[in-house]
């Protein structure tokens, strides 16, 4: 009996240790900015961007984050690196001081972030660009209000306006490989492409067709998930053509989703919401985020997770127990590692 009790205590202690090693930890950012995006250009070099021109950088895999000298006071809403030297930041001008310039524009670096040049969207107007989408072939599009589309020219220098039949606000998208991808937005908008984004077709949605979807993510060509208002989650097992509703167990708005393989995934959102699944979304379980602030992005890089949001919030997740190495090459400014 004593031996059984000892074995139970040992097993219980191991469970506690594993749990402790797999929690989200809140980091001190020394900033109250509203962080909108986080990415890593390599295993050690990472970036966070936010309101008021705030940029933080890390060179030690996210152990420490330091502010980068400001080059603008505009809001920075998205960041993507195609390699360690070449990166893009999506910027939003203040509507009261922009004059006749477009609301959205870009900053580009070719020297690893030491300098950032201004790049304007061709024929840019009042519509706000919400997201930059890059595929693994070097192509990219920008999407946003009123269904606007911009395409990056083949020389990688200019973003040219492209015609679109979509009229809803577009908020998120993902390319899995060079040919296949999906975009989502307001009014239950879910569109897919299988021809490198030349054409986009409406997907079939079974479930809440009124939700505003903020983000979409594919772990493979077959499996994808999108999240949005009211805790909405939809999943596709048919290359983005058909989507079915999943039960998230929360009613908070979900802003972003990220999967490290076809089964393990995370979603974040309003009121510090973090939920996870280990069975492809068959069941979602709430995690303790240690914050009540809105979380905007979740991202995994080399076994570590990051979530950023309002009030200078930076959360880090590290599962020291280790996971499988399933994943896919970096797409949409993300490196999928469990």
Compute the radius of gyration of the chain from its Cα atoms.
20
Q: Which domains does the chain have, with CATH numbers?
A: 26-318 (2.130.10.10)
pTM for this prediction: 0.88
**How do the pLDDT tens digits run along the chain, 338 residues long?**
444 444 344 343 333 333 334 689 999 888 999 999 999 999 999 999 999 999 999 999 999 999 999 999 999 999 999 999 999 999 999 877 777 889 999 999 999 999 999 999 998 888 899 999 998 777 899 999 999 999 999 888 899 998 777 888 999 999 887 678 899 999 999 999 988 788 889 999 997 788 999 999 999 989 999 999 999 999 999 779 999 999 999 999 999 999 999 999 999 999 999 999 999 999 999 999 999 999 999 999 988 999 999 999 999 998 654 443 344 433 334 433 33
């Amino acid at each position: 009996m004593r031996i059984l009790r000892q074995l139970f205590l040992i097993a219980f202690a191991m469970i506690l240790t594993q749990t402790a090693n797999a929690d989200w930890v809140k980091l001190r950012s020394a900033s109250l900015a509203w962080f909108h995006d986080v990415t890593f250009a390599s295993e050690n070099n990472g970036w966070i961007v936010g309101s008021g021109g705030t940029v933080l950088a890390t060179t030690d895999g996210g152990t420490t984050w330091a502010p980068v000298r400001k080059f603008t006071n505009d809001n920075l809403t998205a960041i993507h690196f195609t390699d360690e030297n070449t990166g893009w930041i999506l910027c939003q001008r203040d509507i009261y001081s922009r004059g006749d310039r477009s609301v959205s524009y870009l900053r580009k670096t070719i020297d690893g972030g030491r300098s950032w040049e201004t790049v304007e969207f061709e024929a840019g107007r009042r519509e706000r660009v919400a997201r930059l989408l890059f595929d693994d072939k070097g192509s990219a599009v920008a999407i946003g209000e009123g269904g606007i589309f911009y395409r990056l020219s083949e020389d990688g220098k200019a973003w040219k306006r492209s015609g679109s039949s979509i009229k809803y606000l577009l908020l998120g998208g993902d390319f899995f490989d060079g040919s296949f991808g999906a975009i989502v937005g307001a009014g239950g908008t879910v569109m897919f492409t299988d021809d490198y984004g030349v054409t986009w077709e409406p997907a079939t949605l079974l479930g809440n067709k009124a939700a505003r979807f903020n983000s979409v993510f594919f772990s493979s060509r077959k499996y994808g998930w999108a999240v949005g208002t009211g805790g909405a989650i939809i999943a596709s097992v048919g290359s983005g053509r058909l989507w079915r509703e999943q039960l998230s167990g929360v009613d908070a708005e979900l802003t972003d989703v990220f999967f490290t393989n076809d089964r393990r995934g995370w979603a974040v959102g309003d009121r510090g919401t973090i939920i996870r699944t280990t069975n492809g979304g068959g069941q979602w379980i709430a995690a303790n985020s240690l914050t009540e602030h809105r979380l905007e992005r979740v991202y995994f890089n080399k076994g570590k997770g990051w979530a950023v949001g309002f009030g200078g919030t930076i959360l880090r997740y590290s599962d020291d127990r280790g996971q499988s190495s399933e994943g896919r090459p970096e797409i949409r400014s993300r490196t999928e590692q469990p």
